[in-house]
Amino acid sequence: MIKSSIERFLLVLPLVLSVHLQNVQAQVVPKDLDVYVASVLKEFEVPGIALAIVKDGKVIVAKGYGVRKMGEPAKVDDQTLFGIASNTKAFTATALGLLVEEGKLEWDAPVVKYLPWFQLSDPYVTREITIRDLLVHRSGLGLGAGDLLWWPASTYDRKEIARRLKFIPLLKGFRNAYAYDNVLYTVAGEVIEKVSGQSWEDFIATRILARVGMMDCKVRHSDATGKGNIAATHASINGKVLPIAPFTSDVTNPAGGIHASSRDIAKWMVVQLDSGRVTGGTRLFSQETTTQLWSLVTPLPIDNPPPELASLRENFSGYALGFFIRDYRGYKLVQHTGGLPGMVSKVAMIPELKLGVAVLTNQESGEAFESITYHILDQFVAGAKTDWLGAFKKMRDRSALMVKKAERMTAGKRDSTSHPSLPLASYAGTYNDPWYGDINVIVENGKLVMRFGHTPSLEGELEHWQYNTFIAKWKDRELRADAFVTFALNPDGSIDQVKMRAVSSATDFSFDFQDLLLKPVSRSSK
């Protein structure tokens, strides 16, 4: 009798467990998830999305939606690679944490202790800036300062970019204000190489990805191109979503080079939410490193969101080590976004709930990943539910109207009857900026053409706008970064200097044309 009862229990147990698992999943996975994601894909014209949800140390969802490339049948699945861009910064910060735990680094030791050659434009900042400072966007550099050294793809290598930072003026006080940068994460990559004896790429691959079991991942942009299960890049060009060329340069991999699948990014979130524990219970890093990574260092100003996004009103917000920190509906939210040409992504975690959501997309729609992220988070937190798809649709439409309004205002201020002060040939020559290097202006087929000396894709005709201002119309129209070019003259009519700035307010901030101060080096009659 006892034996038969045990036998019956063992026979029923798998069914009970199966029903229990189904009930658990029903509680944690939004019932309308697939329908909702499909609606987001359609509304924001995103060809494909990879989604990961983790809860209480388990991967609840790791799957794909849509297609890898528009017009082609291959579907996105849980192994499709997407560029996670600046979500890579958390990996770089974690790598530094591993080296701190090994006693090879100190968070608050000066960078020059490990890279004696490193300099910023201010000697005091050079002496005082620490490893922690490299990660928290408070160096005094302006927004995106120095990004033209690597974006679009340049001929400069990683070390040369780091060495050129000494020529970039600091726009703000050291540690006084937040200004997002990428180049100091490149410097952090150099620190990792110097201290560990491994390149940033090899360290990340062997010391983090292999330990976590992220076997799909690529640590180089150049490795995530061509054939294979790789998402193509798409963007809206003149109002139409089209495939565009991917970014393939490896120079700034420490700031944004990782490509990952949904199943791999799910594993990453599980480890982050479990204070560094990996499969088998061993630790990749300690609780102390988690505390460091998630402790707010640089506060961000609190802005009032538009009415439809009222639920996103913050009580605190700032940057930690490779992560943004803010509150959401009473919980601490640890998150980051990432953007590359044709791909944007988001990773968001609520540590108290052991909840993580990652959305990887192959189109440049932040509204898409935000809609999905907050829709899922709301399934786990109390409070009134928000129609996030509708809210972000309104925000997108408002932003588009604001850009068009700004463009109309700019056009309205133009004096179309004006003419250049000089013959076109007088504008030709070589101009130098101390941190970027040489930029050439030539006369070609009766027109002025600008060529950046270290950035092959920054080549375009200078179309006259008004007076001594021209617009650089880049041949590569996928850049979407046309720029005003203004020549300032000396009293004798010679050119004193040249300044640039993006024409459109929608231009990516990494086109930091406004930071260039070009001085004539030589004149050309060609």
User: 445 and 311 in one domain?
Assistant: no
Mean pLDDT of the chain: 93
User: 429 and 307 in one domain?
Assistant: no
Would you say residue 356 lies in a domain? yes
User: 378 and 439 in one domain?
Assistant: no
Q: Would you say residue 18 has pLDDT above 60?
A: no
The tens digit of pLDDT for each residue in 383-437 reads 788 999 999 999 999 999 999 999 898 888 999 999 999 999 999 999 999 999 9
150: exposed, middle or buried (C-beta count within 10 Å: 0-12, 13-18, 19+)? buried
CB 293 within 8 A of CB 323: yes
The tens digit of pLDDT for each residue in 294-327 reads 999 999 999 899 988 999 999 999 999 999 999 9
User: What integer pLDDT is reported at residue 357 of this predicted model?
Assistant: 98
Domain harbouring 364, CATH code: 3.40.710.10
User: 304 and 173 in one domain?
Assistant: yes
User: 465 and 328 in one domain?
Assistant: no
Q: Could you give the number of structural domains in the chain?
A: 2
The whole-model pTM stands at 0.92
User: 518 and 393 in one domain?
Assistant: no
User: 275 and 367 in one domain?
Assistant: yes
Would you say residue 503 lies in a domain? yes
Domain harbouring 487, CATH code: 2.40.128.50
User: 433 and 385 in one domain?
Assistant: no
Phi-psi region of 486 (alpha: psi -120 to 50; beta: other; left: phi over 0): beta
CA 255 to chain centre: 8
User: What integer pLDDT is reported at residue 305 of this predicted model?
Assistant: 92
Would you say residue 308 lies in a domain? yes
User: What integer pLDDT is reported at residue 384 of this predicted model?
Assistant: 81
Would you say residue 158 lies in a domain? yes
User: What integer pLDDT is reported at residue 471 of this predicted model?
Assistant: 98
Q: Which two tokens stand for residue 349?
A: 């975690």
pLDDT average, residue stretch 103-112? 98
Would you say residue 16 lies in a domain? no
Give the residue numbers spanning the domain of 448.
424-523
CB 333 within 8 A of CB 349: yes
Coil, strand or helix: which one is 471? strand
